[in-house]
Structure 1
Amino acid sequence: MGIQQVRACHQIPLNFYGLLSYISGRVAAPDSNEAVVKTPRRIPFFDGYVLRDLQLSEEMGVAVTENGDIMQWGKGYLSNCRAPIVTLSGKDIVKVGLSQDRIIALSSSGNVYSMPFSKEEQELFAKPKEHGSIPFSSWDSPISYRSLTPKLGFWETVVDIAVGLEHTVMLTSAGRVFTAASATYIFPLKGQLGIPEISWDTKPKPYDTPQEVTSLGECKITQIAAGDYHSIAAGKNGKIFTWGDNTKGQLGFNYKEDSIMKPTLLPQRAFYKDEAVKVTLKAIYAGGLNSFFTMDAETPDPIADDKTIKSHDVFSCGYGVHGTTGSGIWAHAHGPPQKLKTISGLTEYSEKQSKLVPIGTSYITVGGTHAAVVMSNLANIQENSWKRTDVEFGNDIMFFGGNEFYQLGNGKRVNLNTPTYVPPLEPARGSTSRSTEDRFQVVPAKKVAILDQRSKKRSVKIEQRVIAGRGLTGCYARTCS
């Protein structure tokens, strides 16, 4: 890929970037009255912040601070909101997701919370009792929230969550999966709960009570993902199960019916026709009406019988009108997973191993109509994060999909159906413009010295992280454990 010849933009962003958006929601630039934000824009409020997580939609920005508090901003929270505000504290939150109108949050202890977007509903709806360390001491929470924590076995906790527009998927430490409704005014009825017995008439009371997805059988699940109206789970043995809305083929099957009501096995032959290929599932991702899968494959060498050819492959399925499948094809629906040829089977030379090695993917982030893939190519970041040399480079990142709101960060408004590099977030040091040779890369985990909000210098291990939201994109500094 010749990345050594590319001058990377690898500054550590101790802040948030909105790569897009119509400012109607005042998320990409909360302090601005501009109609649109066409190119990356720093939100000064977050200078010096290190975050645990970030999630974005057209009218809502939600960040988890380094100490586990939830911050909100955007018109979805308050019509005249001009800066992020702490709304939920003291819960040690580690991850958040956004449904249609609620924030779903996971704490470090495995508790799951559901809270409304808007300040008005946070103050209007019932507030739970909080309990202190002093016996019999309690008080009303300052905001409304509900518990979505399922009833679990001894020592079993929720370790991950995935959130769609109307539902939440929860993974426990025992490998069990629970689902629950997560929208205030709509109950999920497209099969995304994975429990065929639940309908509008048979929904639990309260309506968002978590239910176990028992049809996964004895398979111990290790990964979960959720799109707008569908769900994915993968087991330790590499088995993949999908369920929910399949109108765009996002479950990986050819369209036969609108919804698949319970988990259905997506076989290996859906990805590789040759049964001789040895496959290792790496990760699953979902968002909007799309799904993605990354896999390591070993194919028998046609020349040397005792050798294999190793590759890292990326597959996608779902809605392709905006180019979100990344396959180079514009299509309303694509059921069978298709290989993304531009980012599959890539190699680079490793000086340490003295040979070509596959280039994997670090992660894929999927928004409403666009996505970004971060590659795990070799990186070279100097110890001094503010030193700039031509040999420094980070991890490559490519964007594709819908760009109707400038969310791909290239300053244009044209959809892309193949993964494409975009310009760096900021000009190279000492330059007033972005060079055509530069491209956006992210910094892998490293220790840096920062000045926090109190101008106190400290050392912290962070990484640059990109999040594709619903209609916009963000880049921030995430704390690394």
Structure 2
Amino acid sequence: MSFKLLVRTQQRFPRRNWFVRTRQYAKQPQYDEADLFAENINHGAYKAKKRSCDEQFQWPEKSPDQISREAERQWERMAKLSAVGQGMLILLVVGGLGTAYLRWPELKSWWLIKMNGGRINATQEQNGQDSLDKLVKKKAKDLLREIPQVPSFQPGVGHPGVYIWGRCHSRDSLFPVRVPNLDNRKFRDILLAPSNDFNTNFALDEKGDLVAWDDLGQTKTLLPGQGLTSMKYSNNYLYALNKKGEILIIPIGTPGLIASKLSSRRSRLLPWKIRHKYDWKLPTGQVFNGRKGENRVVQFDTGSHHLVLLSNLGKAYSCATGDDGKQAQVSRGQFGIPTFSQFDEFPPNNKLFEIELLNKFKHEGDHTIHRRKIERIACGSYHTLALDGDGELYAFGWNRFGQLALPISYNLEYVSFPRSVTHAFRPHFPGMTDWKCVDMHCDDETSFVTIFRPGLTPDHHYFAFGNGLFGELGNNTFKNSQCEPVKIKLDDKRLINWSCGSHCVFGETDHHHEVVVWGNNDHGQLGIGKKTMKCARPMNIPDVLKPGQDTTDLDSIYNSKFQLRKGQRVVTNGSKSCIYWQT
């Protein structure tokens, strides 16, 4: 093959490199991004930009004062870090020592077992049993110290008087103690220290006079001659109902103001008698319809900043309480009036407004307005329950914990108008229509409702909903919020009287008038004789100690059940409780 033929062959069939990728279009021009976008880099010399030395890259000169201040700040930081480290070390040491002290028997047993090769001999087992027996005896001695000795000359619980327990006498009392100076006295109503601002208790004596008394029985008459029958506390004021159906406003924090509203004069027919007149009352005449016979109050209840009352015609009214000018920032719907919602101005003090959406209604498609008769009302701190004659339950106010039996949501946190919540109990009575609500009560953030169903045993069912963090729900659980009604575990017992304090509940059963309790017990206010912090299920309380009783027999004390005598009542405020004889 000639040289010319070889050249032609190579031009027709180019030689391929199977390992190096070749460009198929060799005659096309090639472009480099550096040539396109940075000609100066390829064709011009690179020149760095210089900055003036006066502007940057020079440490500014500092004065001696600045240098000393920086040094002081650095030492302060080091001192703070050192203090934090020392504090954490102290906490760890104290925590470790406390844990070792509380678990010393376990640590001692573990160490003995380890030193003995993992075996326990009979002597060590006996020593452990002896230690356990010592702990049991020590606990029994501690209980004996908490049980008061009742003198044999003191009257028993069958004699009129007052017993008190819980946070009283400058200490926590786990058992009812008879109050001196109140023997053989009966009262219409008792209100235990309503707030931390008032350490004194209040009572309405047999004449209806308002009396202040302390835990030692020292009494002082605050308001005489008014014939008071019941009283409630709200926003540093007492609201008391008299026999005429009027509600008196009593500023218990300022006795001088009480005296200024009280006037006295002699009776013309009986000159030896002095009549007292108190002028500060709720202005019911401004809202009552006197032409239809509406002229007195038959029932009322209060919350933290509101009051709700019922007239003799079954109409409901509400108002804001107190008169110190310190109003809550916003309403929480507890007045039942839409114009006093959380977006509106707080209503004026002691001015009554009719709850029209509760007193009146109309059926769908009917233009006639009907009147609803309300039979009972109950107030929590910021919510209200109402019950009409047909057994329909209505609720309004604050619903953060589900105390209105409505779903917990942003839109239903504040309900400023009455809403029917009877439907919330239907899941407990599927397919049944012969049941209705007959009673209800309120704790601060918890509600209790009684459902009656005739013809069955038991015919009364008890439900709770709302805040149950301290066991107020009574169903053996501790829940912060419960919007669906749950049954209280009362074991078919029927409650005839209730007393609700702050996070604790007392109830009187129809069976031998026993007292059952549940809820908070951090001060011993439940009267169960033990320092159990919480009680989530109704339980009986021990009987009141008898004069001269042997307090060393713990079984007989804790296995007994207290039963109320005829005329006795039990009340609580959430931190202490008492038993008194009612007129």
Q: TM-score, normalised by structure 2?
A: 0.62
Q: CA deviation at 1:186?
A: 2.8
- 1:95 matched residue in structure 2: 230
Partner of 1:475: 579
Task: Give the equivalent residue in structure 1 for 2:175.
Answer: 39
Q: Deviations over 1:440-463 (max 9, x none)?
A: 2212x3xxxxxxxxxxxxxxxxx1
Aligned to 2:383: 230
Q: Distance in 2 between matches of 1:131 and 1:47?
A: 30
Q: Which has the larger radius of gyration?
A: 2
Inter-CA distance 173–330: structure 2 relative to 1 (3 Å threshold): same
1:110 matched to which residue of 2? Answer: 245
Please say if residues 269 and 275 of structure 1, whose CA atoms lie closer than 8 Å, have aligned partners that are also in contact: no
> How many Å separate the matches in 2 of 1:363 and 1:295?
15
Contact 1:220/1:235, CA 8 A, preserved across alignment: yes
C-alpha contact (below 8 Å) 2:395/2:418 kept by paired residues: yes
* Residue 24 of structure 1: aligned partner: none
- Give me the whole-angstrom Cα distance separating, in 1, the residues matched to 2:505 and 2:513: 16
Q: How far apart in 1 are the matches of 2:578 and 2:284?
A: 29
Tell me which residue corresponds to 1:404. Answer: 522
Stretches of structure 1 that go unaligned for 5 or more consecutive residues are: 1-9, 22-27, 76-80, 300-307, 347-358, 378-393, 446-462
Q: Deviations over 1:263-321 (max 9, x none)?
A: 1111244253413152132211112111111122247xxxxxxxx55522111111111
Distance (Å, rounded) in 2 between the aligned partners of 1:143 and 1:159:
20
The aligned residue for residue 399 of structure 2 is 246
**Structure 1 pair 65/237, CA: closer, same or farther in 2 (3 Å)?**
same
Query: How many angstroms does 1:134 deviate by?
Result: 5.9
Could you say what the CA RMSD is over the residues aligned between the two structures, in angstroms? 2.9
Counterpart for residue 366 of structure 1: 500
Give CA-to-partner distance per residue, 1:218-266, whole Å, 9 cap, x none.
2201111111111111011101111111111111122123211111111
Confirm whether residue 197 of structure 1 aligns to residue 339 of structure 2. yes
Which shows bigger deviation, 322-331 or 403-412?
Answer: 403-412
Q: 3-state SS of the aligned residue for 2:486?
A: strand
Could you tell me which residue of structure 2 aligns to residue 384 of structure 1?
A: none
**Greater share of residues in strand:** 1
CA contact (8 A) 2:301 2:379 kept: yes
2:450 is aligned to: 294
Aligned pair in 2 of structure 1 residues 82, 297: CA closer, same or farther (>3 Å)? Answer: closer
Following superposition, which runs of at least 4 residues in structure 1 exceed 6 angstroms of deviation?
139-144
Q: Measure, in 1, the Cα distance between the counterparts of 2:235 and 2:471.
A: 23
Equivalent position amino acid for 1:50 in 2: K
Take 1:273 and 1:36, find their aligned partners in 2: how far apart are those partners?
43
CA contact (8 A) 1:104 1:182 kept: no
Give the drift of 1:324. 1.0
- Identity of aligned pairs, percent? 22
Answer 1 or 2: higher relative contact order, Cα 8 Å, separation at least 6.
Answer: 1
Give the Å deviation of 1:41: 1.7
Question: Is 1:339–2:481 an aligned residue pair?
Answer: no
Q: Which residue of 2 aligns with 1:63?
A: 203
Aligned twin of 1:440? 562
Answer whether contact 2:226 2:278 (CA < 8 A) is retained.
no
Q: Structure 2 matches for 1:152-171, cutoff 5 A?
A: 152-154=288-290, 155-156=293-294, 157-171=296-310
User: Aligned residue for 1:182?
Assistant: 321
Structure 1 position 15, deviation (Å): 2.0
Alignment pair present for 1:423 and 2:564 = no
Question: TM-score, normalised to structure 1's length?
Answer: 0.75
Q: Is the 8 A contact 2:203 2:212 kept in 1?
A: yes
- Say which SS state the counterpart of residue 314 (structure 1) adopts: strand
Cα distance change on mapping 1:265 and 1:442 into 2, 3 Å: same
Structure 1 SS opposite 2:172: coil
Structure 1 130/250 Cα, relative in aligned 2: closer, same or farther at 3 Å?
same
Q: Deviations over 1:324-365 (max 9, x none)?
A: 11111110011111111x215x2xxxxxxxxxxxx4210221
1:54 is aligned to: 190
